[in-house]
Each structure stands twice: as structure tokens, then as C-alpha cells.
């Protein structure tokens, strides 16, 4: 039975310890805190020090690799997940017990869907459990249906395009890489499918998206996956402005170089700069890096390229000096500030879901260069469904060549198609703000959740809505 509460709701939020998962879950914690809920982020010892956001507390739990996190496993995903399940279950349980006698005992655990074991911890302690999905509803749809056996992983070309209710037909190019090459990523495929077996026992399911963006995707899926769309989980300062001073996620595993970037941008004309970033995890091949580099130079555009230190060796020899009049290459910048800046006219992106939501929320057109995983269907939606950008074609080696890249940049930055793309980008920006604003669809879903927690003593049974 769920413990009774008297307007003292306390939610523990448990993210997977990678930047793309920490950011939206910390942002959700801030949204809850802004509505009067005590919010605690439970994260690994290795990442706890990187999280600091007003209104929330951070408490460490163990993944079994407290000194160095995932890096200690030599990139062994299965070892990491197994260790996290064992150590995380134990230490998350201790955290719940620690608060049991406090003024605000834990009411609910909101856990990253990659950690289904957290639901078992919640049930063991008689508190609510809510799964949080950090990818798109479309991707949830694909893997949920594969898990239930309603669609099967395509084996050969005759199985394509993949038909999924609510989604456009997905050809080989647009499939998540775990579906496209299931034998190549067995640990990741297993992790994706592990999100669903005990999901029916969860009291809520949340997806970081919004109804106006992916409502059609959710149609027909609700019996399998009755999720609430509560996104975009982008800092309030770039959307509705209702959380005072909320201009960043409050969670960074890297130090931004804001001043250098902003000073450079200030000297540029409105919508004249191409911003390039492939996120914190993606690495381009040396061949692809060269094509992008020469394409930027040939296009003649001003560009700001955020490139991790470890990737700089892939640039053509002497490239920095060749482009110094047009381009700035840095190791890190605040992406939200860059996207919000009036000088930014285009975002060349790997189409990770957080970057996708940020570009949509800030109304910035895109050139899509997805590399793997869920980035591929995200790119498909960006080009064909939301029509906010271009996904250049790869050659037979899977490389986007310079000429194709330059053409895509021009399509987004110049001419008639550019105007239509920019118009669509502004439309989604407006809809994203409305969704999280007062009375919007996402705001309403979060309010329902908060109201239920605040009145938990009146609700004797689980799964009431």
C-alpha cells in the first residue's frame, strides 16, 4: 500500500548517468520543484558533483564503479548495467529508508526507463514508481511493438519499409541502428527491450515530448503504452520563463566556454551562422569529418563548430588557419545559448533527441547528420514530418560527401525552401512554448501528476489515472 501523505510530496528522480539522460530528468525535477514538490536527484557518485540546480537536492547512489563510472568498465555495457542493478537497488533502497522518518518521506521514484529494477525498489517500499523515457515517442513505439511481438525486426529488404502505426514508412536508412543491425549491438538492443517487461506495473509513464509534436504517434499505442507527454524538458528560460533564472540544465559534465562563443557571435549578422555539434558521444569517421570540414569551407558560410578535443586530430592538416576568417572551432560551448542567439541560422546536428528538442524549441532549422541508434528515425521526422531541415544522402560507403553537404546547407540557409523550413521551425517553437506554458498539454499532465502525489492520502489504490 502506498504511504499516506499530507501535501508533502517527495519525488526521487533517477537518471541514467550520461549527459543526454541526466539533462531531461534534472529538468523534470526542477519542474516538479517549481510546483511545490520536494525533488531529489539520485545519481552515481561519479556524476553527483556535476549536478547543481536551485530547488533540488542531489544524493549519490552506487553503480559499483564509484571512482570513474562507466569508464571503469572498459565500455562493457552489460557489466555496467548488471553492477548498477545490484548496487543501485541496494543504495536506492537505503536512500528511501533514510527519508522514511523525515518530514518528507519519499512518495514516488521517477526512474530512467533503462533502470526497470528501480520500479521493484519502489514497490518494495510501497511508493509510486514512474518510468521516464528520454527518447521520442516514435522510438518508444518501435521498441515497444518489437517487445510485444507486434512488429518484427526486418531481416531482408522484402521486410521493408517497416510499417509502424502513427509513423511514416521507415526504410532501411531510417531504422534505429539496433533494429537495422541487431547482431551488431546486442547489449544495446537488450537494454532497449528491457524497458518494457515490467512497465505495466508502473503507476505512470512519461515521455520527453509533447502532444502537438507526436500526438499521432501515440494514437493506437495507448493500450500498450499509456504514457503522458511532459516535454520538451528544456530549461524554462528558453520556453515559458516560469522558473526564475532557469537558463541551463544545472547538470554539466563539461565546462562551457560561453564568453569566447558569445563574443564571436555578437559580431555576426542575424541568422548567418551555421552551428555544428555532434553531441557528447558521437564520433565521426575521419573520412566524414573531412567531407564536413571541406564542405563548410566551400560553402563560404560563417560557422561555429563545437568539436571535442579528442576529435581535433581528424581535421585536415592546417584547417584552422585556412578557415580562421569564417570559422570558430572550440571544444565546448553552451548549446542552448548558441541556438537562442540571433546570429544562429542553422544547426548541423547528429539528431540526438535532446538536441532535436532544443532545435525545435528554439526554432532553429537543421541539417541532419545522424550516426547511429535513435538518431536515424529522429532525422527522418525532422526532414519529412516536421519539415524543419534537410537530411543529406550518404554514398554507398555511408558517407555524406562534400557536394551533398554544401547543397543541404544552401537549402537550409538560402532560397525558397529555406523560407518554408524557417517558417516550420518557428511554428514548432511556438507550439513547444505553449505545451509547457500554463495550461498547455505538457503542463497539464505534470499538474495531474503533482496533484495526485499531493493528495496521495486520499488515493488508496495505485494506477488511478
Cis check: omega of the bond before 232, within 30 degrees of 0: yes
112 is catalytic: yes
Q: Give, in degrees to the nearest 5, the angle at Cα 160 between 158 and 162.
A: 145
Cβ-contact 432, 239 below 8 angstroms: yes
CA dihedral defined by 400, 401, 403, 406, rounded to 10 degrees? Answer: 50
Q: Helix H segments across 66-165?
A: 77-99, 117-124, 137-148
Strand order in the sheet with 302-306: 327-330, 302-306, 273-277, 344-349, 366-368, 389-390
Which phi-psi region, left, alpha or beta, contains residue 271 (left: φ > 0; alpha: ψ -120 to 50)? left
Q: Alpha-carbon distance 391 to 366, whole Å?
A: 8
Q: Long-range pairs for 264-267 at CB < 8 Å and ≥24 separation?
A: 264/304, 264/328, 265/304, 265/338, 265/341, 265/343, 265/344, 266/343
- Name residues whose C-beta falls within 8 Å of residue 405's C-beta, 6 or more positions apart in sequence: 291, 292, 295, 367, 392
Q: Give, in degrees to the nearest 5, the angle at Cα 177 between 176 and 183.
A: 130
21 is catalytic: yes
Q: What is the DSSP string of 262-291?
A: HHHHHTSPTT-EEEEE-TTT----HHHHHH
- Name residues whose C-beta falls within 8 Å of residue 160's C-beta, 6 or more positions apart in sequence: 154, 170, 171, 172
Catalytic residue from among 10, 63, 112, 374: 112
Helix 441-454 to helix 19-34 angle, to the nearest 10 degrees?
70
Q: Is 223 exposed, middle or buried (0-12, 13-18, 19+ CB in 10 A)?
A: exposed
In this structure, what DSSP letter does residue 393 have? Answer: P
- Name residues whose C-beta falls within 8 Å of residue 267's C-beta, 6 or more positions apart in sequence: none
Q: Alpha-carbon distance 35 to 43, whole Å?
A: 22
Catalytic residue from among 10, 21, 125, 341: 21
Q: Alpha-carbon distance 47 to 49, whole Å?
A: 6
Give the residue numbers marked as catalytic: 21, 112
Amino acid at each position: 500500500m502506498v504511504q499516506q501523505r499530507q501535501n508533502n510530496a517527495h519525488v526521487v528522480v533517477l537518471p541514467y548517468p550520461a549527459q543526454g539522460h541526466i539533462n531531461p530528468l534534472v529538468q523534470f525535477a526542477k519542474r516538479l520543484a517549481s510546483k511545490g514538490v520536494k525533488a531529489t536527484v539520485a545519481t552515481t557518485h561519479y556524476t553527483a558533483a556535476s549536478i547543481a540546480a536551485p530547488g533540488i537536492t542531489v544524493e549519490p547512489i552506487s553503480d559499483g564503479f564509484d571512482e570513474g563510472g562507466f569508464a571503469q568498465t572498459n565500455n562493457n555495457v552489460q557489466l555496467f548495467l548488471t553492477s548498477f542493478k545490484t548496487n543501485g537497488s541496494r543504495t536506492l533502497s537505503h536512500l528511501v529508508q533514510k527519508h522514511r522518518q523525515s518530514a518528507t518521506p519519499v512518495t514516488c521514484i521517477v526512474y530512467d526507463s533503462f533502470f526497470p529494477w528501480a520500479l521493484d525498489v519502489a514497490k518494495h517500499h510501497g511508493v509510486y514508481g514512474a518510468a521516464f523515457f528520454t527518447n521520442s515517442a516514435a522510438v518508444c513505439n518501435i521498441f515497444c511493438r518489437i517487445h510485444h511481438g507486434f512488429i518484427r525486426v526486418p531481416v531482408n529488404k522484402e521486410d521493408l519499409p517497416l510499417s509502424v502505426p502513427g509513423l511514416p514508412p521507415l526504410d532501411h536508412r531510417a531504422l534505429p541502428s539496433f533494429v537495422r543491425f541487431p547482431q551488431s549491438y546486442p547489449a544495446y538492443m537488450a537494454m532497449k527491450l528491457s524497458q518494457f517487461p515490467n512497465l505495466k506495473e508502473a503507476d505512470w509513464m512519461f515521455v520527453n515530448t509533447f502532444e502537438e509534436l507526436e500526438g499521432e504517434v501515440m494514437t493506437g499505442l495507448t493500450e500498450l503504452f499509456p504514457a503522458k507527454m511532459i516535454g520538451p524538458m528544456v530549461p524554462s528560460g528558453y520556453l515559458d520563463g516560469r522558473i526564475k533564472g532557469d537558463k541551463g540544465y544545472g547538470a554539466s559534465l563539461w565546462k562551457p566556454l560561453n564568453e569566447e562563443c558569445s563574443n564571436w557571435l555578437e559580431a555576426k549578422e542575424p541568422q548567418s551562422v551555421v552551428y555544428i555539434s555532434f553531441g557528447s558521444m558521437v564520433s565521426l569517421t575521419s573520412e566524414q569529418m573531412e567531407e564536413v570540414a571541406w564542405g563548410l569551407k566551400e560553402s563560404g558560410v560563417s560557422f561555429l563548430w563545437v568539436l571535442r578535443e579528442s576529435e581535433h586530430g581528424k581535421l585536415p592538416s592546417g584547417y584552422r588557419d585556412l578557415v580562421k576568417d569564417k570559422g570558430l572551432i572550440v571544444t565546448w560551448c553552451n548549446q542552448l545559448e548558441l541556438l537562442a542567439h540571433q546570429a544562429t541560422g542553422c544547426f548541423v546536428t547528429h539528431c540526438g533527441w535532446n538536441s532535436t528538442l532544443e532545435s525545435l524549441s528554439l526554432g532553429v532549422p537543421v541539417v541532419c547528420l545522424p550516426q547511429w541508434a535513435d538518431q536515424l528515425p529522429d532525422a527522418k521526422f525532422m526532414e519529412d514530418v516536421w519539415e524543419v531541415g534537410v537530411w543529406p544522402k550518404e554514398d554507398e560507403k555511408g558517407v555524406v560527401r562534400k557536394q551533398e553537404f554544401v547543397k543541404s546547407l544552401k537549402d537550409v540557409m538560402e532560397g525558397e525552401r529555406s523560407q518554408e523550413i524557417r517558417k516550420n521551425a518557428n511554428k514548432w517553437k511556438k507550439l513547444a512554448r505553449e505545451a509547457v506554458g500554463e495550461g498547455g498539454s505538457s503542463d497539464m499532465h505534470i499538474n495531474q501528476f503533482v496533484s495526485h502525489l499531493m493528495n496521495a492520502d486520499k488515493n488508496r489504490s495505485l494506477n488511478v489515472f
